[in-house]
Amino acid sequence: CNNSGGDSASTNPDESAKGPDLTVISKKITDSNAVVLAVKEVEALLSSIDELAKAIGQKIDRNNGLAVEANFNTSLLAGAYTISTLITKKLDELIKNSGELKGEVEKAKNCSEAFTNKLKEKTQELAVAAGAATDIDAKKAILKTNRDKDLGADELGKLFKSVESLSKAAQEASANSVKELTSPVVAEAPKKP
- Contact indicator for 126, 119 with CB cutoff of 8 Å: yes
∠ CA 122-126-124, nearest 5°, is 55
Q: What is the pLDDT of residues 53-70, one digit of tens each?
A: 999 999 999 998 999 999
How many CB atoms lie under 10 A from the CB of residue 45? 16
Bridge partners of residue 18, in order along the sequence: 186
Cα–Cα dist 52/60, whole Å: 13
Query: Domain residue spans in the chain?
Result: 20-176
Q: What is the pLDDT of residues 138-149, one digit of tens each?
A: 999 999 999 999
Q: What is the pLDDT of residues 104-147, one digit of tens each?
A: 999 999 999 999 999 999 999 999 999 999 999 999 999 999 99
Does 3 score more than 80 pLDDT? no
Instruction: List the one residue out of 136, 95, 138 whose CA is nearest residue 113.
Output: 95
Phi, psi of 73, rounded to the nearest 5 degrees:
-120, 10
Cα–Cα dist 175/187, whole Å: 24
SS3 34: helix
Fold of the domain spanning 20-176: Four Helix Bundle (Hemerythrin (Met), subunit A) (1.20.120)
Confidence of residue 90 (pLDDT cuts 50, 70, 90): very high
